[in-house]
Structure 1
């Protein structure tokens, strides 16, 4: 059974008990041409009914208060958002960005806005709900703020001018994003090849200090060579200057150890005259992959000269 068949099986089982559609990132990522991490479903099935259908279903006390339950089924992660039938249509409409305003009932894919065109244009744009009920939307879903930066980094999107203006005018809402969510999103943002454009928008919103290099480098892509994010941060510091990156780390309440590693290793990228301890050589080689943009000959020369 392939992934699509598994997802269809879960959807059909839920629809036998109540109105259910697929929403969120699964649809968005498929339309943008990316793999998905999980599948979100909006349903009128109560958590107890879902538990009967899927005994492996689990939840937290806080999540249950919001009608949120989760499970891993045949290797795929599912998240259910349960609501009363009367609230179903309202829940469907209350999405943050147009690219998230799709739903799929197993037969038809429906867009509730300009999402299809915005995906074609690679444009991140406010939904009517976020635009017209900004205070309510950011109060109920403050993570929309940080998600906008992640989508840019991972999916090669650019912000619509109205989105930039909205976040500039509601900058303080960023401070309401829970620490855990801030940190998790920051790590995802770091993995994106469009991380420089994402940081550029942080500057444009006014969350970090102005840095002219961001304007120049916003369209420069940085491949992800390994999952070692410390190396990535050090290379970003090399490109942008240490202060911008430290401000960004502090904004997301990330580990002080990352700042210490930047301070320790950044000098090695600025000059070739520093002696490298053998224990540091593997990490330095990774840094040089970034600095030399994976040029094998340059890396080979670096290793030869480091002996």
Structure 2
């Protein structure tokens, strides 16, 4: 099998080989090439120690970004490439980082420590694809499977639990049964992961083409990351406007909404306050004031996850007005645009459209054209 590597990555591999070292493109870049995608970046694994990599490429072309873990960044024509010495890891007392890293001479030992089979692949022009754990087969069959024992892999780095869900959402792959079970059972360990890493993974998950299915399938993992969503699960709305419970409506709304991270996070959090606002009148469920309660919770969630301030403000604003009626008059539209800004108003219309679609009833669907009219 021949893969076309980025010219810079190929140059690094060939140069290291000329000096007598082993070197391969590894991980996500190889996975993406096998899927016919252009990788965003390249990682190279090598038998050379960091100081040897520096000697080969010159100190002026190498940034010592992660010497403790055997990683340096080689910069060729302004483009960075992470180059890491083959290594094994042991001891994960904080469920986030290895207590110790040992440099090894074997690519096989290096691949053994990786998270999923689809990422435990390597390639160079001389040896072709190195696939010791069935990564190619899992790619072809659309499967996310842990390398070795998933309980061990997730105990090493709890973020891998969320990464399994994220890859499932992004690639549209099924998570292998034992891997999925381990993720659900160990989801509580996400509390040991930094908030910034959780926010980053969730943002990628929400952008995935299979985000709705993943949010529903891995609700336990999602609730471990955002406990405030838990009460929404199977919370019946008892409304002629809503076909689904609060959480399923939320998951579907994430899938329907078009746009970027602001719109996706808005839909994830737009009804998070509904369980706190539930009341029944004449047999019909109501959630008076849920938009403001949801905005309050959304603000707290995003602050805890250390989301950028400007980003959080946009999401909280959209959540707070997502169900506000807008009259079909020029004056009303101008008033709303003035209140939240032209760009955010466009986002609000998209949020309203997705919200209506995700309600799943003829009554709600009849309202979806209103955003287009506005």
TM-score by length of 1: 0.78
* Aligned equivalents of 1:272, 1:146: Cα separation in 2: 36
Decide which of 59, 62, 83 is 1:57's aligned counterpart. Answer: 62
Structure richer in helix, relative to its length: 1
Decide which of 280, 288, 291 is 2:341's aligned counterpart. Answer: 280
Conserved in 1, the CA contact under 8 Å of 2:266 and 2:318?
yes
Conserved in 1, the CA contact under 8 Å of 2:117 and 2:134?
yes
Q: Residues 248 and 194 (structure 1 numbering): CA distance in 2 closer, same or farther, change over 3 Å? A: farther
* Aligned equivalents of 1:125, 1:14: Cα separation in 2: 32
What RMSD, in angstroms, separates the aligned Cα atoms of the two structures?
Answer: 3.4
For structure 2, the residue ranges without an aligned partner over 5 or more in a row are: 87-102, 235-244, 275-293, 328-334, 355-368
Conserved in 2, the CA contact under 8 Å of 1:235 and 1:287?
no
User: Following TM superposition, by how much is the alpha carbon of 1:26 offset from its aligned partner in structure 2, in angstroms?
Assistant: 0.3
Secondary structure in structure 1 of the residue aligned to 2:72: strand
User: Following TM superposition, by how much is the alpha carbon of 1:39 offset from its aligned partner in structure 2, in angstroms?
Assistant: 0.9
* Aligned equivalents of 1:123, 1:287: Cα separation in 2: 36
Conserved in 1, the CA contact under 8 Å of 2:184 and 2:218?
no
Aligned length: 291
* Aligned equivalents of 2:311, 2:187: Cα separation in 1: 26
Conserved in 2, the CA contact under 8 Å of 1:32 and 1:155?
no
Decide which of 26, 30, 38 is 1:27's aligned counterpart. Answer: 30
Conserved in 1, the CA contact under 8 Å of 2:196 and 2:305?
no
Decide which of 76, 84, 103 is 2:122's aligned counterpart. Answer: 103
Q: Residues 110 and 248 (structure 1 numbering): CA distance in 2 closer, same or farther, change over 3 Å? A: farther
* Counterpart residue number, 1:230: 262
Instruction: Within 5 Å, give how 1:46-125 maps onto structure 2.
Output: 46-55=49-58, 56-60=61-65, 63-74=66-77, 76-83=79-86, 84-107=103-126, 108-125=128-145
Conserved in 1, the CA contact under 8 Å of 2:146 and 2:179?
yes
TM-score by length of 2: 0.65
For structure 1, the residue ranges without an aligned partner over 5 or more in a row are: 303-307
* Aligned equivalents of 1:100, 1:123: Cα separation in 2: 12
Instruction: Within 5 Å, give how 1:32-51 maps onto structure 2.
Output: 32-51=35-54
Matched, 1:8 2:10: yes
Q: Residues 77 and 239 (structure 1 numbering): CA distance in 2 closer, same or farther, change over 3 Å? A: farther
* Stretch moving more, 72-81 or 41-50: 72-81
Secondary structure in structure 1 of the residue aligned to 2:80: strand
Instruction: Within 5 Å, give how 1:235-250 maps onto structure 2.
Output: 235-238=267-270, 242=294, 249=302
Conserved in 1, the CA contact under 8 Å of 2:47 and 2:104?
yes
* Aligned equivalents of 2:160, 2:57: Cα separation in 1: 30
* Aligned equivalents of 1:33, 1:251: Cα separation in 2: 37
